[in-house]
């Protein structure tokens, strides 16, 4: 009789242990499968468009709808000047990149490209500032306050 009780008792422990091990493996496999199918894919790194219109849209995004439209209207009135200035700046940036990649490297070519960028950048900044100045004069206080918070700050505090 004791022999049967020992077999029954050891069989129970074996059964419970086997069940626990099976549940562990099933849970692990299920978690890995769920992780594979349910994880969010990382967004592809996308370069922001280098246009005056795209910059205005970034300014307009946090604004109240009416104020954003006022900013867009001010941009539309000066779009050709702003985009022309931005195109010149983009061209200067491309020449800087070309000078940096050139073999053999020519320091004079790089210097000229940097000088060109310094020369054309003020025209772009002035065009953008005139657009913002025109729009700000017609915006609500809330819109101007949101515009004053540009660029958006990231939380860098450490707690």
Is residue 13 domain-resident? Answer: no
How far is C-alpha 59 from the chain's CA centre?
A: 15
pLDDT of residue 159: 46
Is residue 19 domain-resident? Answer: no
What torsion, rounded to 10 degrees, do the Cα atoms 121, 127, 133, 136 define?
-100
pLDDT along the chain (159 residues), means of 10: 63 83 88 76 71 94 94 96 96 96 95 96 96 95 91 60
In this structure, what token pair is assigned to residue 5? Answer: 């009780």
Is residue 57 domain-resident? Answer: yes
Measured CA to CA, the distance from residue 79 to residue 128 in angstroms comes to: 10
Is residue 29 domain-resident? Answer: no
In this structure, what token pair is assigned to residue 128? Answer: 């953008």
Segments forming the whole domain that contains residue 96: 52-148
Is residue 136 domain-resident? Answer: yes
State how many domains the chain has: 1
- Residue at token pair 């950048």: 121
In this structure, what token pair is assigned to residue 84? Answer: 């022309």
Is residue 23 domain-resident? Answer: no
User: What angle in degrees, to the nearest 10, is found between the helix axes of 107-136 and 141-148?
Assistant: 160
Measured CA to CA, the distance from residue 52 to residue 85 in angstroms comes to: 9
Q: CATH number, domain at 117?
A: 1.20.120
pTM across the whole model: 0.64
List alpha helices for the chain, DSSP H. 2-38, 52-60, 65-101, 107-136, 141-148
Is residue 20 domain-resident? Answer: no
Is residue 94 domain-resident? Answer: yes
């Amino acid at each position: 009789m004791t022999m049967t009780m020992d077999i029954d008792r050891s069989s129970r422990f074996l059964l419970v242990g086997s069940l626990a091990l099976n549940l562990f493996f099933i849970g692990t496999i299920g978690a890995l499968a769920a992780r594979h199918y349910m994880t969010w894919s990382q967004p592809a790194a996308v370069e922001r468009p280098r246009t005056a219109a795209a910059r205005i849209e970034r300014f307009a995004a946090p604004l109240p709808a009416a104020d954003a439209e006022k900013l867009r209207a001010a941009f539309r009135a000066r779009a050709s000047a702003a985009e022309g200035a931005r195109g010149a700046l983009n061209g200067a940036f491309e020449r800087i990149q070309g000078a940096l990649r050139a073999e053999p490297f020519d320091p004079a070519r790089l210097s000229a490209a940097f000088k060109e960028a310094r020369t054309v950048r003020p025209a772009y900044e002035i065009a953008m500032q005139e657009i913002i100045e025109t729009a700000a004069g017609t915006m609500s206080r809330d819109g101007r306050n949101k515009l004053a918070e540009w660029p958006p700050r990231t939380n860098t505090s450490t707690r």
